[in-house]
Structure 1
């Protein structure tokens, strides 16, 4: 896998943080866990339940030393969300995210959680019907994310 970083951009690889002082392309020659800086959520940005869930999943990827603890927190948060949300589309997608994480595909789970941010905003603002998903041509699935 080849990734390109801009000057000043960071990438998190297997718990290490790498920073580029100029534009650089990196070729990852073996299986690694990485997350680009643009997809890293800072603790002060965890302002909604889904952002908190994302943060816990993100920790599983970027800090392997506490992956188990982050997984426990993720499962607890996910259980609370499943018990709290009534929107059927949100519940369906959260169950899919749980399955994705159980299959150790955390990066895909992060993408799936990000896709749900607009639906969460609608629900939290009271604009979403609690039992019907918003109309969309694409399902909120990782395989539908470009």
Structure 2
């Protein structure tokens, strides 16, 4: 896989943070876990349940040598989401995410979670429009 990076951009590879000082192309020639800087969510942006799940899985990808706490938190958060979700699309997505995380395919899990952001946003907008308390409030 070939990746092009701009000057000053970072890439997270197997837990290491690399920053380039000029435009560069990097070819990853073996199987590695990586995340581009633009795909990294800051803790302050994890404002909904799905975004919190994204952040937790991101931690697992970015720090693969010390994921015990993140795995435990993921299990609790995923179970809580399953307990409150009624949308078939969300439930199917959560099942796919569980399978991906279970096989340490964190990057693919992050992509699947991102695909559910609009679904969650629509659910939250509907709940907010009905003047109902939103169950996906950030902790």
Unaligned runs of 5+ in 2: 128-139
Task: Give the equivalent residue in structure 2 for 1:50.
Answer: 50
Q: Could you state the TM-score of these two structures normalised by the residue count of structure 1? A: 0.82
For each residue in 1:8-39, what CA deviation from the matched residue of structure 2 results, as whole angstroms up to 9, or x when unmatched?
A: 11100111111111110112232221100010
Larger deviation, residues 78-87 vs 62-71? 62-71
User: 2 CA distance for matches of 1:92 and 1:31?
Assistant: 27
Gaps of 5+ in 1: 128-146
Local SS of the residue matching 1:54: helix
TM-score normalised by structure 2 residue count? 0.86
* Counterpart-to-counterpart distance in 1, 2:90 and 2:28: 35
Query: Match of 1:10?
Result: 10
Alignment of 1:57-136 (within 5 A): 57-126=57-126
Give per-residue Cα distances to partners, 1:99-132, cap 9 Å, x unaligned: 11112211110000000000000111117xxxxx
Q: CA offset at residue 87 of structure 1?
A: 1.1
With a CA cutoff of 8 Å and minimum separation of 6, indicate the structure with the bigger relative contact order.
2
Structure 1 runs of 4+ off > 3 angstroms? none
> How much has 1:69 moved relative to structure 2?
1.7
Q: How many residues align?
A: 127
Counterpart CA distance in 1 for 2:26 and 2:57 is 24
